[in-house]
Structure 1
Amino acid sequence: MKALRTDLDLKQSDVAQKLGISASVYGNYEQDKRSPDYKTLAKICVFYHVSADYLLDVPTENGCFSSLSGTLRSMHPADQQRVSEYAEMLYFYRTHKK
């Protein structure tokens, strides 16, 4: 969660306020000293635009793609566009390489 928050240039208190919890409780979530209840977990997922599986680090069939998807959703839109353009360029290069 810390990486998601810092990628958005937010403080713990900013996120805590949006979630309706104290900054110290949110800090405990980031440090794995405390786990959120289901309702708060859902709020965190919605806030960061990620799945609960991503936050809980649950392995999936897609492996890195699930993680990448969560990372992309937490990025600034301009950076998302850059990643998309790079992926298209890489795909084009790989499929047209002789």
Structure 2
Amino acid sequence: MQNLIATLLLVLAFAYLLLKWMPVGTKEKIRMYSMSRFPAMEPLFSKLVKQTTGCGSGCSNCSSPSDDSCTNSLDVKPIKLIRKTSPQR
């Protein structure tokens, strides 16, 4: 029984991480497929989409006003890498 519970927890954790790191386009395809197969759950899928879109969600489509806490592409500063050279003998 403990093995079954542990396996179930691991599968749920893996599914959560998979959905969290999945590209937005793939998530949208899964959402559309699920909505077509289970139309009674459409309000749930719509609610999930509204919660996941916006600033910080990785969607790159921020629909909030520009004076919000979203970062614009102008606020991004490039990183300059400095390679250390080893002392020559």
TM over 0.5: no
Larger radius of gyration: 2
TM-score for the superposition, normalised by structure 2: 0.29
